[in-house]
Amino acid sequence: MGDQVAFTFLLDHFWNEVYGFMLKRTQNETDSEDITIETFVKAFDKIASYDPEYSFNTWLIAIGKNVHIDLLRKKKSVLFIEITDEEDQQAYRVADSTPTVEDQLIKEQNLSSLLNCIKQLKPQYQEVIQLRYFQELSYQEIADQLGEPINNVKIKLLRAKKLLADIITKKKGTS
């Protein structure tokens, strides 16, 4: 549970900075989100190698730059990012099954209200929410269906739940 809380904090705290940096580099929202997701996957996987002598955001940006370079190399031969490193294929336990604050907030919504909130998410986030909560697929089943590594699915789901919880909270504040 401690790991998920820490990872969620880091994701919330540094997402906009890494995403903004990548958006300036790529000028493409989809690529920027993909790169940012992959950056956090790699950072969580390699957290033990982080040197506190450097600021955390600098370390994340450096990982992001490398992910972007890898993406550019792969785009020459493949249109879609494909992760082949065996190390990246192994499921890293970013998320566990313990309900989070976001999970609780999402559950409290009535279905039509919840569906309206979900429609405000980007399609890739709508898809992982739909697969996880409405079709009740496991992380592995979602990864197989999307053709993505399981750790990417976990990061997307964490991000989707956070964005959805923000939408619900804003909606509650206006009603």
CB burial string 24-38: b at 16+ within 10 A, e below: eebeeeebbbbbbbb
The CATH code that applies to domain 96-174 is 1.10.10.10
What DSSP state is assigned to residue 171?
H
CATH 1.10.1740.10 residue ranges for the chain:
2-88
Alpha carbon 10 to chain centroid distance? Answer: 11
From 1.10.1140.10, 2.40.70.10, 1.10.1740.10, 3.40.605.10, which CATH number describes the 2-88 domain?
A: 1.10.1740.10
Write out pLDDT tens, residues 121-142. 999 899 998 898 888 888 899 9
pTM exceeds 0.95 for this model: no
Position 34 confidence tier, pLDDT thresholds 50, 70, 90? confident
Write out pLDDT tens, residues 15-27. 989 999 998 998 8
DSSP secondary structure of 68-104: HHHHHHHHHH-SS-----HHHHSPP-S--SS--HHHH
Residue that the structure tokens 């990246």 belong to: 88
Write out pLDDT tens, residues 52-110. 888 888 899 999 999 888 888 777 654 444 444 443 444 444 444 556 667 666 666 66
